[in-house]
């Protein structure tokens, strides 16, 4: 029985072993056949192979890999959006010396919106039209921007402040933003938004991108503007080159060779680069029109430079497309003026501000006991005169470069108290502090770019000045504007709401011929006010000591060209009421028109070559 029962078992065992040994043999042939001759579509074998491929892909696509891919998508998108947010701010910084900040911003927001729309809607067409990745163009365009801005600045006189900024940003900022946004749209097509509802998944990429861009523009704009000029890389040209380098890191390609001519121009020929060699080249060109830039710097309020006119013999302090003041240097070595404590100003309005000492009050304060607060320095004409009279003078100036240049290149004496701070912050703090100094004279002299810095003309700021002024004190406010527009009336109404007794004077009488031709009446006016209510403000007769041995003060110290309330815009609803902190848009909407007029005036004050060359 045993042999009978063991025979079948032995036979099955042998068969199983044979089968196990021989089955692998045809596998290589099957694999080779599959790789060299793919199965016909629709066959069982093809279906089986597809299932096997999907299974292998499912195994390889782990959660970590998917998360990494999604992270790369968002990182690239955010990087592109951050770069165009920085580009937006830097573009405006580079336009402001040529056009001023307000004209430079006229088309900016509209152009950005148009570029975002075009880029987002044309990403597919752009990808199909180009034989390379669209982002490869970004570093080339970014690195060409400084050269294009340089050449377009040369044509700024013909382009004017109305169209120059649009043309410049249309050829520089617009293409960079358009291509960047198109690349973001393409990249976000790979984003996994399956957890969102269908309608939200469709809208999220566009809305999220725009929201992030606006937030980045605000944050990066503040950081860039508040740190401009601190190092070579923080300058206008430096930031543009750095931006081009970041684009090159993000999208390297052989197309970068196309940017070499632009880089060479920036390094060797662009006079806007803040180097000694570029300044020497700049001055070689300005010598043809008789001007020299003694020094220049980029700071928080704009591009600041000290410019000499050899032919006329004066020196001015420039901020972007404005002048902060000027003095005659040709008299410095004349025997009559050699020992003067003050310089001869070229603008009478700054001398007129000194008449704050001449206003008759109930209890006159001797100069050696008086305290003065000057809001806004310029070249220091008025504070220098106050110091020369022995008045204890405190100067509040936002821009440290303005104070540095006024001290180094103009006749600002060192024996004053300098506060480098925002005037709103300073006055808020001092007004709230009952033990803080109070002043017999306050001079409010702030202006740049064709428009007033609105926070310094609000009801709240003027109320702070009222608090800081002694009961017997006098305030003098310099306001520059177009008398044909409502803002001067709004500002005057606000001043009168705080100070009960005031009197206004223009720097020059109205030029009726020019007004008839242009419709502009742009000038400086000084408003003298007291805390006490009088029938009218009167001035004592100036003495020889008041004149400080200065012909300019002989001519302009005593205010002339009085402005009556009837000379201001009247019976216009927009000109009524006061300017409060929460209603500043009442003045903002007139800034563009005022700044355009100021730009045109400045192009007649100094030669066009000076304004183009910064």
Higher pLDDT, residue 61 or 509: 509
Task: Please answer whether residues 237 and 121 qualify as being in contact, where contact means their C-beta atoms are separated by less than 8 angstroms.
Answer: no
Please name which of 179, 188, 184, 186 lies closest in space to residue 118, comparing C-alpha atoms.
Answer: 179
Task: Please answer whether residues 572 and 486 qualify as being in contact, where contact means their C-beta atoms are separated by less than 8 angstroms.
Answer: yes
Task: Please answer whether residues 383 and 351 qualify as being in contact, where contact means their C-beta atoms are separated by less than 8 angstroms.
Answer: no
Reading the block at residue 249, the tokens are 């890191």
Q: Is it the case that residue 181 has pLDDT exceeding 90?
A: yes
Task: Please answer whether residues 166 and 109 qualify as being in contact, where contact means their C-beta atoms are separated by less than 8 angstroms.
Answer: no
Distance CA 99, CA 459 (A): 30
Q: Please name each of the domains of the chain with its CATH number.
A: 65-268 (1.20.1250), 338-582 (3.40.50.150)
CA-based radius of gyration for the chain:
36
Reading the block at residue 40, the tokens are 């016909």
Q: In what order do the strands lie in the sheet with 522-530?
A: 417-420, 392-397, 371-375, 439-445, 469-482, 522-530, 501-506, 562-563
Q: What is the pLDDT of residue 198?
A: 81
Q: Report the chain's mean pLDDT, rounded to a whole number.
A: 89
When pLDDT is cut at 50, 70 and 90, the band that residue 13 belongs to is: very low
Q: What is the pLDDT of residue 450?
A: 64
When pLDDT is cut at 50, 70 and 90, the band that residue 589 belongs to is: confident
User: Given phi > 0 = left and psi -120 to 50 = alpha, else beta, which region is 273?
Assistant: beta
Task: Please answer whether residues 188 and 209 qualify as being in contact, where contact means their C-beta atoms are separated by less than 8 angstroms.
Answer: yes
Task: Please answer whether residues 303 and 289 qualify as being in contact, where contact means their C-beta atoms are separated by less than 8 angstroms.
Answer: no
Stretch 147-152: mean pLDDT, rounded? 97
Q: What is the pTM of this model?
A: 0.85
Q: Is it the case that residue 125 has pLDDT exceeding 60?
A: yes
Among the listed ranges 37-41, 208-212, 362-366, 568-572, which one has the minimum average pLDDT value? 568-572
Q: What is the pLDDT of residue 515?
A: 83
- Helix, strand and coil percent figures for the chain, each rounded to 5: 60, 15, 25
Q: Is it the case that residue 168 has pLDDT exceeding 80?
A: yes
Stretch 313-340: mean pLDDT, rounded? 92
Higher pLDDT, residue 43 or 220: 220
Q: Is it the case that residue 544 has pLDDT exceeding 60?
A: yes
Q: Which H or E run contains 589?
A: helix 585-605
Q: What is the pLDDT of residue 47?
A: 72
Q: Report angle CA 533, 536, 542 to the nearest 5 degrees.
A: 115
Q: What is the pLDDT of residues 69-116, one digit of tens each?
A: 999 999 999 999 999 999 999 999 999 999 999 999 999 999 999 999
Distance CA 505, CA 503 (A): 7
Among the listed ranges 12-21, 430-439, 504-513, 573-582, which one has the minimum average pLDDT value? 12-21
When pLDDT is cut at 50, 70 and 90, the band that residue 410 belongs to is: very high
Reduced to 3 states (helix: H, G, I; strand: E, B; else coil), residue 410 is coil
Q: What is the pLDDT of residue 607?
A: 94
Higher pLDDT, residue 339 or 170: 170
Higher pLDDT, residue 462 or 592: 462
- Cβ neighbours for 517, distance < 8 A, ≥ 6 positions apart: none
Stretch 581-604: mean pLDDT, rounded? 87
Stretch 448-456: mean pLDDT, rounded? 77
Task: Please answer whether residues 317 and 410 qualify as being in contact, where contact means their C-beta atoms are separated by less than 8 angstroms.
Answer: yes
Task: Please answer whether residues 187 and 76 qualify as being in contact, where contact means their C-beta atoms are separated by less than 8 angstroms.
Answer: yes
Q: What is the pLDDT of residues 575-588, one digit of tens each?
A: 678 899 988 888 88
Higher pLDDT, residue 483 or 225: 225
Stretch 562-589: mean pLDDT, rounded? 80
């Amino acid at each position: 029985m045993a042999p009978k029962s063991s025979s079948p078992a032995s036979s099955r065992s042998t068969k199983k072993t044979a089968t196990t040994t021989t089955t692998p043999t045809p596998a290589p042939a099957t694999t080779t056949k599959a790789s060299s001759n793919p199965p016909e579509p629709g066959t069982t074998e093809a279906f089986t192979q597809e299932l096997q491929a999907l299974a292998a892909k499912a195994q390889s696509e782990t959660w970590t890999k998917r998360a990494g891919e999604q992270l790369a998508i968002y990182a690239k998108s955010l990087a592109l959006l951050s770069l165009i947010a920085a580009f937006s701010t830097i573009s405006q910084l580079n336009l402001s010396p040529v056009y001023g900040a307000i004209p430079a911003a006229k088309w900016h927001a509209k152009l950005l919106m148009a570029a975002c729309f075009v880029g987002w809607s044309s990403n597919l067409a752009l990808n199909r039209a180009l034989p390379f990745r669209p982002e490869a163009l970004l570093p080339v365009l970014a690195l060409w921007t400084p050269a294009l801005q340089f050449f377009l600045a040369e044509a700024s006189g013909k382009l004017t402040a109305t169209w120059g900024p649009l043309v410049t940003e249309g050829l520089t900022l617009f293409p960079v933003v358009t291509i960047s946004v198109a690349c973001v749209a393409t990249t976000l097509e790979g984003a996994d938004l399956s957890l969102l509802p269908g309608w939200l998944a469709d809208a999220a990429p566009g809305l999220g991108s725009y929201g992030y861009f606006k937030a980045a523009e605000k944050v990066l704009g503040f950081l860039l503007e508040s740190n401009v000029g601190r190092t070579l890389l923080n300058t206008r040209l430096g930031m543009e080159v750095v931006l081009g380098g970041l684009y090159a890191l993000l999208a390297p390609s052989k197309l970068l060779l196309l940017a070499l001519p632009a880089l060479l121009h920036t390094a060797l020929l662009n006079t806007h680069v803040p180097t000694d060699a570029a300044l020497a080249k700049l001055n070689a060109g300005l010598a043809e029109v008789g001007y020299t830039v003694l020094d220049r710097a980029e700071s928080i309020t704009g591009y600041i430079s000290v410019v000499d006119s050899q032919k006329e013999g004066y020196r001015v302090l420039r901020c972007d497309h404005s002048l902060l003041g000027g003095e005659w240097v040709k008299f410095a070595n004349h025997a009559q003026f050699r020992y003067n404590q003050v310089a001869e100003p070229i603008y009478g309005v700054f001398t007129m501000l000194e008449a704050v000492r001449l206003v008759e009050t109930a209890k006159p304060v001797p100069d050696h006991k008086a305290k003065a607060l000057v809001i806004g320095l310029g070249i220091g004409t008025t504070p220098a005169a106050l110091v020369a009279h022995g008045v204890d003078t405190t100067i509040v100036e936002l821009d440290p470069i303005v104070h540095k240049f006024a001290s180094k290149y103009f006749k600002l004496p060192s024996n004053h108290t300098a506060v480098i701070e925002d005037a709103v912050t300073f006055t808020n703090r001092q007004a709230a502090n009952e033990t803080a100094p109070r002043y017999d004279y306050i001079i409010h002299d702030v202006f740049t770019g064709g428009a007033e810095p609105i926070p310094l003309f609000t009801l709240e700021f003027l109320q702070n000045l009222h608090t800081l002024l002694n009961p017997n004190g006098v305030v003098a406010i310099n306001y520059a504007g177009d008398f044909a527009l409502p803002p001067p009336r709004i500002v005057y109404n606000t001043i009168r709401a705080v100070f009960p007794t005031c009197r206004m004077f223009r720097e020059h009488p109205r030029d009726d011929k020019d007004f008839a031709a242009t419709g502009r009446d742009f000038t400086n006016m000084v408003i003298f006010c007291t805390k006490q209510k009088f029938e009218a403000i009167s001035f004592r007769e100036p003495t020889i000591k008041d004149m400080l041995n200065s012909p300019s003060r002989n001519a302009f110290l005593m205010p002339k060209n009085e402005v009556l309330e009837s000379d201001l815009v009247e019976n216009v609803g927009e000109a009524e009421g006061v300017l409060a902190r929460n209603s500043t848009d009442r003045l903002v909407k007139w800034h563009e028109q005022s700044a355009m007029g100021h730009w045109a005036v400045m192009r007649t004050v100094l030669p066009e070559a000076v304004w183009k060359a910064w």
